[in-house]
Structure 1
Amino acid sequence: MEYIYITVTVNIILTLFTVFKIFGKSYLTEKGKNLATKQDIADITFKIEGVKVLYSKEIESLRASLLQGVNKKHLFLQKSTDLLLNYYDKVLILNFAKLSKSFGDFISEEDQKMSAVVKYIGEINDLFDQLMVDYHRLSVFLDGKNELMVCTSEIITSVLKIKKVFNNHTGERKIALFKEMAAFKSKNFQDYEKAVHENNAVSAKYYEELKNPYEAFQKQISSFVEKLTLYLS
């Protein structure tokens, strides 16, 4: 910015010199070696002042344009920061509040338990979708080679894998849970014991398939936190 002001100032000085040169030459032609009259000086001064006013306006216009550019950059950075923090919040919710739960964690009456499970399934799928939307929004603000954008891309890849595993096993897990609840309600110990084993087997199958993408997700969160801290510092 200082370079621009210096350039404009030099241009003003050169212009003033040119004006003096032009009017000085005209003055010498007409007056010879006579002294300039007050009117001559007044005319020259008037024209020089006009040039100064013109350049002053240009400088003010340039200053306003530069300030507008700075404000736009500030707003751009603020928006990208807000999106990153919002993305991070949702990643934490998915990790600690959603994926950490199993269907068996919803302790309540039978009807209420199934309603709670259905609600949970809807909430976690909504969260998957929100993270995808936030990722695409971030791609507008951050270059694809940006370290934070690379991290968000890796996270969303793991999230999509987790979503696939979650939804592929949701139906089987719901049925196993329902059978266990029905067997418990029947008070038939053998049926209940069998249902518990079946439910545990279904859950073990789900968590085994979830293991790799979830572990990758954990590492990517740590990397994201590290890059985000540097970005905000």
Structure 2
Amino acid sequence: MKIFKDLLTKHGAGMVLGAITLDGYRRQVLNDRNNNILDKIRKERSDFSEEQRQEYDKWIDMENKKNKTQSVFCEYSESADEHKKAVEKYNTNPNEYNKTELEKQTQKLDKSYEEIKKLDISETLSSLYNKYNEFLDSLTPDKIVCLFNIIIDGLILSSFISVLSIMLSENIINKIGFLEKYPKILKLLKLRNNINKKISKFYLLMHFIIITIGILGNIYMFFI
């Protein structure tokens, strides 16, 4: 009630009542639009076969989960922005109204964060996995082979660059003469280089594993 009085004092009765009326009208329009969409969906669904209904319901369920996740994160982002503005207003003018607004926005932000914690991450991962399978199903066998080879070649290239950088770093350290004036720094660099040499063995092992998987994968794809 106090907040309503403060709004009347600050903006005037006409503007406040007009805003309330417009907000009520907006909510009514949105509700009518949503109801019309639901009626249309129900009508279309009644014309489907049982198998089509199951696929349709599955798609609707996935879309609802995706929309819910997006809605929760958008709501949290909006709450964070509003909370930031409320903090700035209170710091600029620490009156009772701004204090009440800050408390309200803090509660709203906490509520949004709790909604994020309630989200089932496994549903998101399952949705991503389903999209990945749908993407693979849309590809021809030739494109799947090309995609597989691109991934394998990319992994090999990244490992090769890592090993090459380790080898070049040793040559650079040996060629920089002024580092001899700073034995502690030179010692640290050589220690790091020795560690990198051990890491390079791991990269070489990765090379072997990736190349082996690539060969076996291509053989498998050749015979399927």
TM-score by length of 2: 0.29
Larger Rg: 1
Greater relative contact order (CA < 8 Å, ≥ 6 in sequence): 1
